[in-house]
Amino acid sequence: MKLNDLLSHQSEWLKDTGPNSNIVISSRIRLARNLEKIPFPHWANQSQSEQSLGQVVKTTQKVNFLKGATVFNLSELDNIDKQFLVERHLMSYEHTQKPDHKAVIVDNEEIVSIMVNEEDHLRMQVMQSGFNIFEAWSIINEIDDALAKELNFAFLLEWGYLTACPTNTGTGMRGSVMLHLPALVMTRAIDRVLAAIAKLSFTTRGLYGEGTQAMGNFFQISNQVSLGLSEDDIVTNINGLIRQVIDQENQARETMLSKNKALLEDRVNRSLGILKSAHIISSQETIELLSMVRLGYDLGMVKNIERSRINELFIITQPAHLQKLESKKLSSQERDVKRAEIVRSKLNI
């Protein structure tokens, strides 16, 4: 697979095929692993980094789930390509910095990705559409077992898996669920919900992880504690919490429909109207408006546009995706014009 092939592929996290996919965008499990006797990436010298990269890449080729996977060496990618992979949630922004001896391994379906030599030697993730955290866990567990047969992971009986940052030590696991919560935001109940989540030691982030704001009413909820609990406990806890958030969002939607249907129809249709007619539009505004259109679709207010088209627009209007589509570097202003053009052409049908 070549990187450009991804352009015509639908990201797992935008497929909208899993359970509760009206509210849950995707479920993701990430495991952090390190190789014994090689320093963590930030402390490793060049030959040590080469060694860890080589070992991981060689081993992944043997694992069932990763046989056809592609290895992208970050030193061979330009900035747009790297940003492109970040936009597809296949790797972190941090991983794009200092690209030497770094790679990301991606399977053809974009379900599995393994960052090599990010903060840890391995950061593997499995993504599933919709509310599907158990399935994600089951897949990544299998991959982890297979890799563990070939690689010696740094592990202490007392501590569990060792990681560069102590917050990941133990299971090395983070489960994250991306939710679309427009009704909780509009009914101003979101702050209460987020505060409750924080008390339960879960963290909330925006569409693009740590440090990004909640754009377009998207919220990514993750466990904070990976030590002292079993993997199954963590997954079960996340699952229970997300179930409650889904219920709250559904209630908020019903309340809005019964109390403010006209207001909601107005917002949804205005959002679609602006997307259909703007000639200059930022990435952020696009996401905000698409969020309203997505809600409108969920509520049966938007009918003659397929959901797959709405989802596609979330990703192809991102800066790197736009530039890949145009096959050239575009300034921010050029992107705003091109973005509006693409949105108009996809929605005026």
CB 129 within 8 A of CB 26: yes
CB of 348 to its own copies, least distance (A): 10
**Do the strands 103-106 and 70-73 form a parallel or antiparallel pair, or are they unpaired?**
antiparallel
- CA gap 247, 278 in Å, rounded: 35
Structure tokens at 228: 């002292």
CB of 330 to its own copies, least distance (A): 14
CB 61 within 8 A of CB 190: no
- The smaller minimum CB distance to its own copies, of residues 9 and 270, is found at 270
Binding site for its own copies (CB under 8 A): 262-263, 265-266, 269-270, 272-274, 276-281, 337, 340
* 51 membership: H or E segment, kind and range: helix 46-60
- The smaller minimum CB distance to its own copies, of residues 8 and 331, is found at 331
Q: Which residues of 225-237 are buried (b: 16+ CB within 10 A; e: fewer)?
A: bbeebebeebbbb
- The smaller minimum CB distance to its own copies, of residues 133 and 272, is found at 272
CB of 328 to its own copies, least distance (A): 19
- The smaller minimum CB distance to its own copies, of residues 191 and 266, is found at 266
CB of 327 to its own copies, least distance (A): 22
CB of 270 to its own copies, least distance (A): 5
In terms of Cα–Cα distance, which of 181, 162, 184, 183 is closest to 171? Answer: 162
From residue 132, give the alpha-carbon distance in Å to each of 25, 27, 207, 226. 10, 6, 18, 20
- The smaller minimum CB distance to its own copies, of residues 156 and 262, is found at 262
CB of 256 to its own copies, least distance (A): 14
- The smaller minimum CB distance to its own copies, of residues 25 and 293, is found at 293
CB 52 within 8 A of CB 88: no
